[in-house]
Amino acid sequence: MIKYLQKLILNSPKGFISYADFIGAALYHPEFGYYMKDKQKIGRQGDFITTSNISDVYGRLVAKWFSSTCKKTNLPPVFCEIGAGNGRFAEAFLQEWNDSIKAPLQYFIVESSPYHRKLQSELLLRDFSVIQVESLSELGPFEGMVFSNELFDALPVHVIEKINGKLFEVMVRVQEDKLYEQQIPLNNSEILSFLEESKIVLKEKQRIEIPLAMEKMIQDIATVLTKGLVVTADYGYTNEEWMGPRRAAGSLRGYYQHMMMNDVLQHPGEMDITTHIHFDYLIQKGMQVELQLLTKLRQDEFLLKAGILKELENHFDPNPFSEVSKRNRAIRSLIMPSGMSSYFHVIVQQKGLQLCESDVFT
């Protein structure tokens, strides 16, 4: 990967590339990109863990909630998951659908990584009916639900910084086989438009990530979904939170063998790279393409409203290794204030519907 990046940078017109171009190559290059390589990324043997890999509770609960929502709204049971990773969420969702719902269902997975498509096929296709595609553009228009978990935080971002009262874009250059940062005066009109639309004003020495790729993803979702709900689970900040003193260094991070790395230029192609997303921008851009905000909840609040407490087994089991005990611990870890869910939010948007929050939660 480093040889490829060297060539990419040295052949660029000015001898450097944006962070967005660097992240796009480091994560999504067809051969060298982190997400595209045949390498375990999720779980103990990988670099990070997701909510759906803690337990099957998350996927099973969303299946029940989706079924209930379809009945209340007369939406057809068509579920589209973007970025399904190793397929654990889909497996739990589909198993619950087969076990308790037992109704027709169309399940689409949009997955750009050949490695992850292979894992999903091995896990799912023997027992369940799933249609896999590489991009949203391969899907025809449909009514239903689009779901993603930690999708937007993995999109490439630009990085800017305020120095001596002026805005600079932070670029990536190469010297003697090593990658370095280089600041240039900000002249990207799209970034300037983003700042103006978001009304974000940086303080001195503050840096922030600019998610220009987010807009296209939102537009692509709105193009294929003619009527239904878009459910996005991710971590991020509001515009007000972005401008707070705690955000002065931005949120760009890497995860390498479960260690957080502040310098994402290390281990290119071998490390996950992630940022907190701009919630207000996601909502604002959604509204411009007919995706109206239905609700924004912390993930633990979403799970409680979706009925996770009904999943708790109330009887005591003295064996801490029993399936009941493991399941109950997983549920508690998803709703405790100190648990993983407290760092995530769930944004629900609607298209072609006139719903309020009470219409989709009981």
Output 327 or 155, whichever has higher pLDDT: 155
Q: What span, in angstroms and rounded, lies between the C-alpha atoms of 77 and 70?
A: 6
For residue 300, the model assigns a pLDDT of: 92
| Structure confidence at residue 162 (pLDDT) | 97
Mean local confidence (pLDDT), 37-55: 61
198-226 confidence digits (pLDDT tens): 999 999 999 999 999 999 999 999 999 99
Interatomic CA distance for residues 259 and 274, integer angstroms: 13
Task: Kindly indicate the confidence band of residue 40, based on its pLDDT and cuts at 50, 70 and 90.
Answer: low
Count of positions (residues) in the chain: 362
**Domains defined along the chain, listed by start:** 36-155+213-235+276-360 (3.40.50.12710)
Rg (CA), the chain: 21
How far apart CA 40 and CA 18 sit, in angstroms, is 28
Residue 50 is predicted with a pLDDT of 60
Res 45: pLDDT: 52
Kindly indicate the confidence band of residue 3, based on its pLDDT and cuts at 50, 70 and 90.
confident
Q: Are 79 and 108 in contact (CB under 8 A)?
A: yes
Mean pLDDT of 90-98: 96
Alpha-carbon distance 268 to 261, whole Å? 12
- pLDDT tens digits, 316-350: 567 777 777 777 777 777 877 777 777 899 999 99
CB contact at 8 A, 31 and 130: no
The b-or-e profile of 311-348 (16+ CB within 10 A means b, else e) is beeeeeeeeeeeeeeebbebbebbbeeebbbbebbbbb
